[in-house]
Structure formats: C-alpha cells, structure tokens
Amino acid sequence: MAAVGAGGSTAAAGPGAVSVGALEPGTASAGETGCGQAVGSGVGGGAHRRFKYISLAVLVVQNASLILSIRYARTLPGDRFFATTAVVMAEVLKGLTCLLLLFAQKRGNVKHLVLFLHEAVLVQYVDTLKLAVPSLIYTLQNNLQYVAISNLPAATFQVTYQLKILTTALFSVLMLNRSLSRLQWASLLLLFTGVAIVQAQQAGGGGPRPLDQNPGAGLAAVVASCLSSGFAGVYFEKILKGSSGSVWLRNLQLGLFGTALGLVGLWWAEGTAVARRGFFFGYTPAVWGVVLNQAFGGLLVAVVVKYADNILKGFATSLSIVLSTAASIRLFGFHVDPLFALGAGLVIGAVYLYSLPRGAAKAIASTSASTSGPCIHQQPPGQPPPSQLSSHRGDLITEPFLPKSVLVK
C-alpha cells in the first residue's frame, strides 16, 4: 500500500509511496537554489542537514529491506504463507496506527475523535470515496509484488521495478499535461534500456534457478505493478489536488478501503485454502517482519520524506539497488555477471539523471564562467526569487522514487 506523505503525495515504501506537495523533479529544492549553496544557515541549517541524512538512511533501508525480507520469507523451506493475508494484515496495522495517531492529536479525547472522523469520513463522503480507486490499485499492486518477488531474484526485481519512474512520467504527461525536459526523456530511454538488459540476462539463465520459480510470471507481475503504481500515483494527485486532510487521515481512509478490498481479493484468490488452513497459516517471525515492514516502513517514510529533495531520493534509490544486490549475493547466492552489472549501472545512472533539477546544468555553467562577483541567482534583500514554478509548470510533480507508501503503500 502506498503511504500518503505530507502534503498529500504518495511514496512506494515498500514498493511504493507518493507525497503531495513535494518537490518537482524538474525544479531545484529550497536548498539547491542560487549557486548550489544551501539556503539558510546556523543551527536550523545543521539540523536540516542531519534530517536529510537520516531521511536518506531511512529511504535506503526501508526500500531494500522490504524487498529482501519478502524474498527471504517466500523462499524459506516449509509451509508458505498466503500473500493475500499478509497484505490484509499490513493494511489493518497501518490503519490502526493512523487511528492511534489521530487519537493522540485529539489529546486522547474520544468524543472529539469520533466527531472528527464522522465529519471527515462520512459527512465528506465524496472525498472518502475518491480514495477507493487508488486504494484498489495499491492493494492489487501489493499482491503483484509478492508474485514478482517470489519469481525473481531480489536484485533483479529491484532494478526492474524502477520502471515505475517511466510509467509515472508517462501517466503524468498523458493525464496532467506535464512536460519533461530532454534530459528526462533521455534518462527514461536509458532506464528502459538498462531494465531490458537485466531481463535479457535473466532470460539467458543468469545463475541457478529454483524449479518453483517462473521468471516470465515475475516479469509480468512487476510490469503490471509498475503500471498500477504510475497510474495510481498520478490519479491520486489529480483527484485530491486542492483537498484538505492530514497525512494520518488520508492513510486511515486508504487503510479502510485497503482492508476491505484486500479481504475481497483474499476470498477470490485463496479463500478456500485460507478457510481450510487458517488465516495465519505459514506465519513465522520472518513473515511477521515483512508485515510490520510494510505496515510501518511506509508510514516512517511519510514522516521523513519531507526532508529529502529529489536528488536525495534518486540517490537513495541507487543505493537501494546496490544494497539489494550485495545482500542478494550473500543471502541468496545471486551471481552478478557483466550483463547484469551493465544494466543495473544504466538504471542507476538514469535515476540520477532523471532526478536532476532542470537548472542544474545552467547553474554549473554559470558558476564556472564567473569566479567572482555576486551569484546570478542571488536576490536583493526583501525581494522574492524569480519564479521557477511558472516556467516549469508542466514538470513532473509525482514522486516516483519512493516505495509505494508517501501515499503509505
């Protein structure tokens, strides 16, 4: 499930989240304006830098650990748990957590909480119903990820899943009439090429493969997951633009729909088997670790993502690929051959290029051309900086770098 981040956006915590009000990939962050020097200084600037490093660590660990933990739990010998039950449990825990946080915001006053939820969920039912579609898609996406990770090595999935950047960009162009820079289009082409190379390596038999794994099914599942992630993130932004609501309220609403729709999916796909063997059949400490990671990892990302600019998110994605690959070698005996290394390298490079602000190249050129005098982007005291948003109004706003959760999914 995607988690809703501050401002209403969603981010892929685990695979997936989107955060509303976050930075546009085509524009510089507040700390990247001027000649690349951070805006603000002193104690506040130091604290902000520390939070940025903390957010980087959280994004990397959550992104890599969710994929690795699912892969580990799905490949353990013995009884295999039902993935649909894990999706439902994650939604239940996430919803309960958001409910407790809202309860704390109301200072423990049950009456105020009930009145607030009645107004936000029932009286404003139109806004609530708007979340049904993205919640349905995110529930489908979570189930598809289990299928994909069960049939693909963790490192291969991590690389291939970056296609969500491509799908998010395309849906933003089609549905929101956004424009991409030439560099971003080139990076998307590079991204697709890198993923194709990795899949060619996988199809060519890159290393031993368990008999119960189907790489074709895994690829189909990850592509469908990327398509659903891109559409849901853009659709979520489109329908909720301008609406109010706290991060925890939005995630509670998503959790309500996610739980209901997850139960429907459980009944349709594995209802008979679950009824015969039990809801928690095959649950081990490793499985509970996956459920807790899905439930709380995305919420944690929703909290810290506001401290991360787009370059930091792109860097976190790149580090997650490297970390997943290194851990896969150690845990699963994954073999990195030159073809995989080439494809993964192209994907990492594409993610970095895509996350660069549009004015980065011009800023570098201006800095190298003039070594003295005031920065060309500096503004006299009291005057606002030149508007970049007006010239980049069509840039992509949706955050494709986060695991399905800022939303939390």
Closest CA to 156 of 91, 205, 84: 205
221 pLDDT above the threshold of 90:
yes
CB 273 within 8 A of CB 82: yes
What was the pLDDT predicted at 140? 92
96 pLDDT above the threshold of 90:
yes
The first and second tokens of residue 378, run together, are 């500096």
- Please, which pLDDT band fits residue 243 given cuts at 50, 70 and 90? low
What was the pLDDT predicted at 341? 92
Rg (the chain; Cα; Å): 22
For the chain, the average pLDDT equals 77
Instruction: Please write the tens of the pLDDT for every residue from 132-178.
Output: 888 899 899 999 999 999 999 999 999 999 999 999 899 989 988 88
CB 149 within 8 A of CB 141: no
122 pLDDT above the threshold of 70:
yes
Residues 6 or more apart whose Cβ sits within 8 Å of residue 172: 178, 234, 396, 397, 398
Residue ranges covered by each domain of the chain: 52-203+214-359
Alpha helices by DSSP H, listed for 241-371, are 247-277, 285-292, 298-304, 310-332, 338-355, 360-369
371-383 core/surface letters (b: 16 or more CB in 10 A; e: else): eeeeeebeeeeee
Residue the block writes with tokens 């989240």: 17
Range from 11-25, 48-62, 88-102 carrying the lowest mean pLDDT: 11-25
Helix (H), strand (E) at residue 107: none
Neighbours of 88 (CB within 10 A): 24
DSSP letter for 385, please: P
405 pLDDT above the threshold of 50:
no
CB 324 within 8 A of CB 155: yes
160-192 core/surface letters (b: 16 or more CB in 10 A; e: else): bbbbbbbbbbbbbbeebebebbeebeebbebbb
CB 191 within 8 A of CB 351: yes
238 pLDDT above the threshold of 70:
yes
